Amino acid sequence: MRTFVLRARAAPTDSAKLLAGIGGEAHPEILAHVLMNAIFVAQSHREDVTVYLVLESTPDYSRTVRFEPRAMHELGGFDERALLGKVAKALDTSRGMGKEEERPVEPGVTVRTVSFERLVQQLSADHQLFVLDRKGVPIGEQAFGANPCFLLTDHIPMPRKTFGSLERLGATKLSLGPRMLFASQCVVLIHHALDQR
Ligand SMILES: C[S@@+](CC[C@H](N)C(=O)[O-])C[C@H]1O[C@@H](n2cnc3c(N)ncnc32)[C@H](O)[C@@H]1O
């Protein structure tokens, strides 16, 4: 199983703001691009993937939306409107939730009021954690177990102190080369590298 966690630091947890923000400073389109490249292939989708989107621009709690394509009945389109529509539906479902609650949104999609740090701590129990960083181990030199989990951000960098906490959880910094790429481009390169093995 391949797991991707996108820490979307600028993404609003208000669905109307999320949808209105496309092309603006929050760049919610990044969420759609990551979902598209993590889940879809031509005329099909990947079954062995789980994607977590953690939206952090919030007046109360981060919203973590989990997508499990193997359990989804309705994948819908892969355009930005369709994909962000699914995220918006999850945000609407999460209205009024208290801290660390979970609600089903539709088959294969759930929303939780859980922070990035807490989520990653939980995933560390049964996943091999990798935080994407240009100065990390080149992906070609890294061995992967059965459950790698890749941690990415939107256009806002991971806070410096987070790297320390991730290191304590056993995360390895993983590099895809010297060029700064979009998170969605990292996802494609990771899939490609794992598909070769
Ligand atoms: C657009 S980048 C983030 C840019 C942000 N301004 C920064 O300095 O981190 C989005 C994500 O892709 C990762 N990333 C981009 N290029 C990479 C590379 N060549 N190797 C590994 N990770 C990369 C970043 O670490 C980040 O998680």
For residue 77, the model assigns a pLDDT of 85
124-150 exposure pattern, b = at least 16 Cβ within 10 A, e = fewer: beebbbbbbbeebeebeebeeeeebbb
pTM, full prediction: 0.97
Question: What average pLDDT values come out for the chain (197 residues) when binned by 10 residues?
Answer: 98 98 96 97 94 98 97 87 97 96 97 98 98 97 97 95 94 98 98 96
CA dihedral 179, 46, 195, 128 (to 10 degrees): 70
Report the atom number in ligand 1 closest to the C-alpha of 158.
9
For residue 74, the model assigns a pLDDT of 80
Cβ–ligand 1 contact at 133 (below 6 Å): yes
Separation of alpha carbons 47 and 92, rounded Å: 26
Cβ–ligand 1 contact at 138 (below 6 Å): no
- Ligand 1, residues 25, 54, 116, 181: which to mutate, most atoms within 8 A of Cβ? 181
Domains and CATH numbers, the chain: 2-195 (3.40.1280.10)
- Ligand 1, residues 29, 53, 153, 176: which to mutate, most atoms within 8 A of Cβ? 153
Report the atom number in ligand 1 closest to the C-alpha of 153.
27
> Judging by beta carbons within 10 Å of its beta carbon (0-12, 13-18, 19+), is residue 185 exposed, middle or buried?
middle
- Ligand 1, residues 163, 180, 182, 185: which to mutate, most atoms within 8 A of Cβ? 180
Cα separation values, 141 from 75, 84, 138, 175, Å: 34, 35, 6, 10
Is-contact 53 65, C-beta < 8 A?
yes
Q: Which residue has the tokens 């990798």?
A: 130
Cβ–ligand 1 contact at 163 (below 6 Å): no
Report the atom number in ligand 1 closest to the C-alpha of 177.
19
Report long-range pairs for 68-75 (Cβ below 8 Å, ≥24 apart): 68/108, 68/109, 69/39, 69/45, 69/108, 70/108, 71/107, 71/108, 72/106, 72/107, 72/108, 72/109, 73/106, 73/107, 73/108, 74/106, 74/107, 75/39, 75/40, 75/45
For residue 73, the model assigns a pLDDT of 84
